[in-house]
Copies of this chain bind each other. A is one copy, B any other.
Amino acid sequence: MTDDAIAAAFAPHDHQQCVHRALDEAAVRLKDQGARLTPVRRRTLEILLESHRAMGAYEVLDRLAAEGFGRQPPVAYRALEFLVQHGLAHRLQRLNAFAACLHPGDDHHPVFLICRSCDKVAEAPFTPIRDALSAVAREGGFHVERATVEALGLCAACAETEGQAPC
């Protein structure tokens, strides 16, 4: 995951291809792990990938229900949990929302950059922040196991727009 990936997530791009590639990668990864990419799960991942932003579980559920899948909460929660467990999606605690993981290859626990204007989400490399965090915590005798970092702000594209037409 390079720094360019951050800009790429917010910038306009060939999203069709982006989705397609992610789906292919997902299929391969799951096969390796002996896990099944069933219709609900595949469709759930597609929905997350298509929107390219964080979605609430119930928003996903509505989409699934409209397409003939079950309309009870567990349907969405199970599919989303499966994707998270297999590294294909992330859960954003702050928003109580989910976003597709765009870099499933890297073993990572990313930092989320959430644009408050367009709601899109990017993942930034965690290492530098974890290093800073671990160092601070260690001085207090605290051992960090997992950390959640969610930054709210403005992406480059929205910053431009706001600059042109402020409030």
Contact = CB atoms under 8 A, between A and B. Distances in A.
7 contacts: A94-B94, A122-B140, A124-B133, A131-B132, A141-B159, A146-B152, A147-B151
10 closest A-B pairs by CB: A6-B140, A141-B156, A147-B151, A3-B139, A145-B153, A132-B132, A93-B94, A144-B153, A144-B151, A128-B132
Interface in A86-118: 93-94, 111, 113, 115-116
Interface residues of A, number: 43
A7 B141 contact: yes
B140 A124 contact: yes
Given A93-B94, A150-B148, A155 B142 contact: yes
